[in-house]
Structure 1
Amino acid sequence: MTYCTGKSKAIVEYSFGDSKPKKFETDLVPIEVETVQPGNSGVCWRFAGQGVNNSAMYEYFACGTSPSYAFNGTGYNLYMDGVILAGSSYEYKAGTNSVTQVGGMSPTSGYITSGNCDCLAECEIKVLKDGQIIFSEKGVCPLTFHVTCDDDCPEGSHKCTHNKYPGYCCVPCKEVGDRLKNIANKIR
């Protein structure tokens, strides 16, 4: 989508995950904004346990929403969302198996590891001018952004004059409306 046609500058405000918003400002207008947000859903899980045929401990990392084990007669196979992981030969000895949600592939010292945490892939924002990338950044998903042009306020906000620099402020309409509604309810 093209932003700021006929304007003198564009300001892209964006944030990754729970991080504080950042701004990118350019006078190379109009601009286009592209985002890359991997579609893999779920979280990363660490399966751990002792192998059935030896005493070694193993870890396996996988993304999904419902991790589990299933007994196959000799050991426990790893499953994610009802699908077997790493083939039927990868199994843990009963009573040694565990599964925990993790924030990344951080193997426990001494474990043999495999699998991956693709669901933790990064999102990316790209700002383009005439098809050429003039700015890009990657970060933890999800990614949100909005674009303002010149001294306009973002959609869903109102511009109010102000005696301090830059001479105006943008007031979010929904937030102010909710506050007024809350005050009215307290008065009643």
Structure 2
Amino acid sequence: MITYCSEGDKPIVKYSFNGVEKKFKSPKSPITIETKETPIEGSDSYQAEGFTITFYSPNNSRFVEATVLDYKVFKEEIDGILYNSIKWKNCGETSFQSSVEIDPQTLTIDATKKCPIDQQGKVRCSIIIRHQDLIIFQDQGQCPLIYSVQCGNCASGEIECKSNTYPGYCCISCQGTSQRIKNLSNKIK
């Protein structure tokens, strides 16, 4: 994580997910920013390259084999009866399929049978903004994620000057101001 701005600044974080621009104005400073990529709706079993699961339903009445990115085994109550159920995310999919009854003791995983390269898992990018280790803002969207931080009222490469008009300040380009001073200096010589 990288720390930005000083105490008393009013950080503005401009960021975009896959070109869709957004902005967050932080009420607190300094801030730290963390970015990461996470699987879409993934569990602890998620594998981006996939794997194959096989299992039987209770009483060995149905055999299932599927090459998947992820799976979840859980207890499910239907009409007052508790069942062991499983749901999985197929290669190239971003959400889990509907649940199926399972005999959990028959579940096997074959890590050598993977998803085709073009159908492997999708990820989402996340941005997490903290102040004093407390999360004050977070967002996620389609990768890639690009962000920049502006600590004061003016962007990087500008200086702030007071103004009698709203909002009470103006921003002047440092490079432009430097060039004008240089031109004046040359005229005086």
Q: Tell me, yes or no, whether TM beats 0.5.
A: no
TM range (shorter): 0.3 to 0.5
Q: TM-score, normalised to structure 2's length?
A: 0.43
Larger radius of gyration: 2
